[in-house]
Amino acid sequence: MRFINREHEIAMLQKARELSKKKLYTIVIYGMRRVGKTRLLLEFLEENDLYLFVNRTKTSESLLREYEEILRKKGIITRYEHISTWDEFFEVLFERFNGVVAFDEFQEFQKVDPSVIPTLQRLIDMNENRGGIMFIFTGSTIGLIEKLFKDSKESLYGRIKRKIHLKELGIKGAYEMAKELKLESLDDFISLYSIFGGFPKYYVTIEDEGLEGRSAGEIVKNLFFTPSAPLEDEIPKILSLEFGRRSGVYYDILEAVANGATSISKIAGYMNREETSLTRQLKELIEYFKLLSYDRAVLGKERVLYINHPLINFWFRFIHPRLSEYEAMREDLGEEVISMLPEYVGRRFDFICRELLWILNRENKLPFKFTEVGRHWGYYREEGKRKVYEIDIVALSRDRKKAIFGECKWKKKAINGEKLVEELKKKVKLTGWKGEAYYLISAKKIKNAPEDAVILDEKAILKVLNSPSP
């Protein structure tokens, strides 16, 4: 797959390389698994730079031997020289090497040999003013890498000049990949993006499996629901690397949230456990692993939990609760899941709308600039009963005096725009909104679109996706 996006990150790295010529420069690139850290490194590194992968399955001695061999191949040490300690390894680097040294999966040193970290710290301190070397450390386990570099108790704290949090490619980047894969049909793309988000790895898997130009349903079937499917253990693999041996309750919480338990009391109900026995793990899933987030009612105080990683959400919604069936009757389960996809995609479409709105906002293509966007929900009484209303999009100006209220519907059938806006206006009344109001409808096809509403239909969405990035 051609290298997509990341101009901003490459520019930051290039600037750091320039600065490192005068004075040692250290940079951390961290982000979720599969987001593209290694590829970014490899695109950036030049022939004489050093790429060093910290392989967690190796012993300290064998990793050192591997790196020693790399130094030999690069001509940094001779055939007759040997490196027997990590001290020597870094000393040789500082004495003889000019260029970039990239440690991929740096956090794995904690497993292979934790003493490497203070050794490196000491040598960084001693060589602070030495020009010519730049260190890049990449790490996947977000919580761990943050701890390694931000926690003042850990030794590399304060030695890092720049941190790059590498995020998913975003909807435009994902659409570029989809185009490479001949998947430009918006319907298929919206379904795939709802499942895979902007993680390049999964689009590369579509390419690796020769599934270019196929429908979203066929792709999902092939990648998950065939014998030895390529993504059959993707999520368990990622999560076991993140959670280590502490996994148990985390899995149950994720399953509960993916299936509609959006608060700690509902999760406890789903799992049939006491709330207090889940507090710590829930906090860790939010703050340390960053897999769960809160979605707030923009005009209110309530909040609900959701899984912010699209593929983890998909896995826990459809496969994890039915792992036995997944083993024994995979193809049948696949048929069932594929038949439920339109409804699933319909619900994920809210997030897609928000992302599209952010793009339009950046490009000044909305009635005003908003600074916050999310959902809103509230309650009203009808015939003595308490009922809920929901507004898919509420985008607010900084002073909270202007708002865009929107509905997002991804369905095959055309939506009646006028009717939808009428219903939306009734819901807006329920919120008690007093400021300026604008209305937005996002749907595949819209008939009777009111002239003064912001319209995000198939044509408008394709225009956003195809517009050049600023």
Which among 56-64, 199-207, 364-372, 373-381 is the span making contact with ligand ATP, rule CB under 6 A?
199-207
3-state secondary structure of 296: strand
Among 27, 36, 370, 446, binds ligand ATP (CB under 6 A): 36
Region near ligand ATP per CB under 6 A, out of 33-41, 155-163, 388-396, 417-425: 33-41
Nearer to ligand ATP, 140 or 281 (CB): 140
Give, in order, the Cα–Cα distances in Å from 449 to each of 17, 266, 417, 426, 438.
52, 39, 4, 17, 14
| Whether 86 contacts 119, CB under 8 Å | yes
Site for ligand ATP in 1-20 (CB under 6 A): 1, 3-6
Is there binding between residue 111 and ligand ATP (CB under 6 A)?
Answer: no
Among 127, 140, 155, 191, the residue binding ligand ATP under the rule CB under 6 A is 140
Question: Residue 399 gets which letter from DSSP?
Answer: T
Nearest distance, CB of residue 38 and ligand ATP, angstroms: 3
Write down the least CB distance from residue 404 to ligand ATP, Å.
31
* One of 130, 201, 365, 402 touching ligand ATP (CB under 6 A): 201
Between 207 and 390, whose beta carbon lies closer to ligand ATP?
Answer: 207
Could you tell me the smallest distance in angstroms from the CB atom of residue 168 to ligand ATP? 10
12, 23, 33, 184: residue in contact with ligand ATP (rule CB under 6 A): 33
What is the rounded (10 degree) CA torsion for 141, 146, 152, 153? -10
Q: Can residue 34 be called a binding residue for ligand ATP (CB under 6 A)?
A: yes
Among all chains, which residue has been given the structure tokens 């030999």? Answer: 72
Three-class DSSP category at 122: helix
Backbone φ, ψ for residue 45 (5° rounding): -65, 145
Structure tokens at 124: 């960084």
Backbone angles phi, psi at 163, to 5 degrees: -125, 130
CA distance 9 to 204: 21
For ligand ATP, the binding residue among 17, 37, 221, 309 (CB under 6 A) is 37
Cα separation of 175 and 188, whole Å?
11
In angstroms, the CA 354 to CA 373 distance is: 7
Whole-number minimum distance, CB 467 to ligand ATP, in Å? 19
Contact between 35 and ligand ATP per CB under 6 A? yes
Task: Quote the least distance from Cβ 33 to ligand ATP, whole Å.
Answer: 4
Residue in the block written with tokens 């014998």: 227
Please give the C-alpha separations between residue 407 and each of 423, 453, 456, in angstroms, as whole numbers.
Answer: 10, 11, 10
Task: Report how far residue 223's alpha carbon sits from residue 357's, in angstroms, rounded to the nearest whole number.
Answer: 31
Q: Which is nearer to ligand ATP, 29 or 443 (CB)?
A: 29
Identify which of residues 3 and 380 has a Cβ nearer to ligand ATP in the complex.
Answer: 3
Q: For residues 89 and 106, which CB has a smaller minimum distance to ligand ATP in the complex?
A: 106
Q: 189 vs 410, which CB is nearer to ligand ATP? A: 189
User: Rounded to the nearest 5°, which phi and psi values hold at 317?
Assistant: -75, -45
For ligand ATP, what does the binding mask look like between residues 203 and 242, x meaning CB under 6 A?
-x--------------------------------------
User: H or E element: which one contains 395?
Assistant: strand 385-396
> Based on CB atoms, which residue is closest to ligand ATP, 33 or 58?
33
Residue nearest to ligand ATP (CB): 36
Q: Of the two residues 33 and 411, which places its CB atom closer to ligand ATP in the complex?
A: 33
- Which tokens is 141 given? 């386990």
Q: Which of 407, 409, 390, 419 is nearest to 342 (CA)?
A: 409
Q: Are residues 417 and 450 in contact, defined by beta-carbon separation less than 8 angstroms?
A: yes
Applying CB under 6 A, the residues found at the interface with ligand ATP are 1, 3-6, 33-39, 140, 200-201, 204
